[in-house]
Amino acid sequence: MIELQSISKKFGDFALENINFEVDEGEYFMLLGPSGAGKSMLLEIIAGLVKPDSGAVWLNGNDITDMPTRKRKFGLVFQEFTVFPHMSVFDNIAYPLKRLRYSRSELNSRVAELAKQFSIEKLLSRFPENLSGGEKQRMVLARTLACKPKLLLLDEPLSSVDVQLSMELRSLLRSINAQGQTIIHVTHDYEEAISLATRVAVINAGKIEQMGSARDVFQNPKSEFIARFTGVHNFFPVQLKASGNHGLYIAQLNSDINFYCYADKIAKVGYVCFSENAVVLSVNEPNQSTVNVFRGVIKEIIPQRFGFEVMVDIGTRVVSHITWEAMERLGIVEGVEIWISFKASAVRFISSVD
């Protein structure tokens, strides 16, 4: 649907270099990268607010690189609540509709419909200064979707809201995408990417380092940067089942491997991840309070700046980080059998559906 071809752009002492990707109709495409990686600039290029130095943007087979922003009919939502403070909620939502010569009654009914969809129908006569953060963001989304944009561009829309609201908005975005809306979403939060994306591109210092499904990118990070940035080597798609204990769940990888973890609400499908620092190695069977205990074979030992990364095959690969000192004490080498253990509370579950 939308395609970026070798987009390059210099700004100050920073540059986007040869960016290529294509997003299909109905996809939820996530651009993941640290701040200053050029993600927002890329969105503004797609929106037509910034002209690239070279390269082209294609929409359904047409070169739109020089098309003015207003003709592209893409929606763009910024991290800041870009409410128009001098207009009521009604006028905010009606703003894009007024550019389209709607009749008064069409306009009224379309605004009412959108307000209902985003549960702000009671706020239409209010001014933005009297709205909560969540209400503002819902109003902004309603306004953006009023003209049924071909493409929805989101620039860190969840970064300036609290956790509760972030969950609400995630769910809202998921449902918007489920109705067929193509979305390109920029974030620095890998959890957001895991939770929402159908495809992820990791961008760093102006270049795309890796692209693929969330699972591909997190399980097989292609560069050290990605591994470090995403910060999760131990990342597994799972199905969640109740364990019988309150709050404790069984995350099932396959018929052989189950992790125990805590979760707020039961969602059937998702991902678990846990830090390599949480994984404890021991030569003998551990007799501790940890509920996740596995026996495996050491596949690889990789020296790091502070200690070693030890890859253990327990039927799937789990990574543990240990210090130099621990390495000497345990005296482990590649190929030997070892026990690994980690607490259920160290395992983080991220749902990918509501």
Partner 1 sequence: MAAKGTGFSWFRFVVMVLGGLVLLFIVAPLLGMFIHTPLSDVAHTATESEVTNSVWLTIWVSMAATVVFAIAAIPFAYFLARNNFPLKKVVLGIIDLPVVIPHSAAGIALLGIISKQSVIGGMFSSLGIELVGTRVAIAMAMAFVSIPFLINAAREGFAMVPEKLEKTALTLGASPFQVFFTISLPLAWRSVVSGLVLMFARGMSEFGAVIIVAYHPMVAPILIFERFNQFGLKYARPVTVIFIVISLLVFIALRLIANKKIKND
Q: Which residues of the chain form contacts with partner 1 (CB under 8 A)?
A: 44, 47, 49, 69-70, 72-76, 78, 80, 82, 84-86, 95-96, 99-100, 143-144, 146-147, 153
Q: How far is the CB of 46 from partner 1 (least distance, A)?
A: 10
> For residues 85 and 303, which CB has a smaller minimum distance to partner 1 in the complex?
85
> For residues 69 and 245, which CB has a smaller minimum distance to partner 1 in the complex?
69
Q: How far apart are CA 253 and CA 255, in angstroms?
A: 7
What phi and psi, each to the nearest 5 degrees, are found at residue 138? Answer: -70, -40
Q: How far is the CB of 27 from partner 1 (least distance, A)?
A: 20
3-state DSSP helix/strand/coil % of the chain, to nearest 5: 30, 35, 35
Q: How far apart are CA 220 and CA 339, in angstroms?
A: 23
Contact between 241 and 249 (Cβ < 8 Å): yes
Q: How far apart are CA 64 and CA 261, in angstroms?
A: 48
Strand bridging mode 207-212 / 62-63: unpaired
Q: How far apart are CA 58 and CA 236, in angstroms?
A: 35
Q: How far is the CB of 81 from partner 1 (least distance, A)?
A: 10
Contact between 234 and 227 (Cβ < 8 Å): no
Q: How far is the CB of 193 from partner 1 (least distance, A)?
A: 23
> For residues 142 and 169, which CB has a smaller minimum distance to partner 1 in the complex?
142
Q: How far is the CB of 243 from partner 1 (least distance, A)?
A: 47
> For residues 24 and 80, which CB has a smaller minimum distance to partner 1 in the complex?
80
> For residues 4 and 46, which CB has a smaller minimum distance to partner 1 in the complex?
46
> For residues 147 and 314, which CB has a smaller minimum distance to partner 1 in the complex?
147
Element at 282 (helix H, strand E):
strand 280-282
> For residues 94 and 211, which CB has a smaller minimum distance to partner 1 in the complex?
94
> For residues 72 and 185, which CB has a smaller minimum distance to partner 1 in the complex?
72
Contact between 275 and 346 (Cβ < 8 Å): yes
Q: How far is the CB of 97 from partner 1 (least distance, A)?
A: 9
Contact between 47 and 153 (Cβ < 8 Å): yes
Strand order in the sheet with 280-282: 280-282, 337-342, 292-304, 307-313, 317-322
Q: How far is the CB of 249 from partner 1 (least distance, A)?
A: 41
Q: Rg for the chain (alpha carbons), in Å?
A: 24
Q: How far is the CB of 182 from partner 1 (least distance, A)?
A: 15
- Give how far Cα 165 sits from Cα of 160, 287, 351, Å: 10, 41, 16
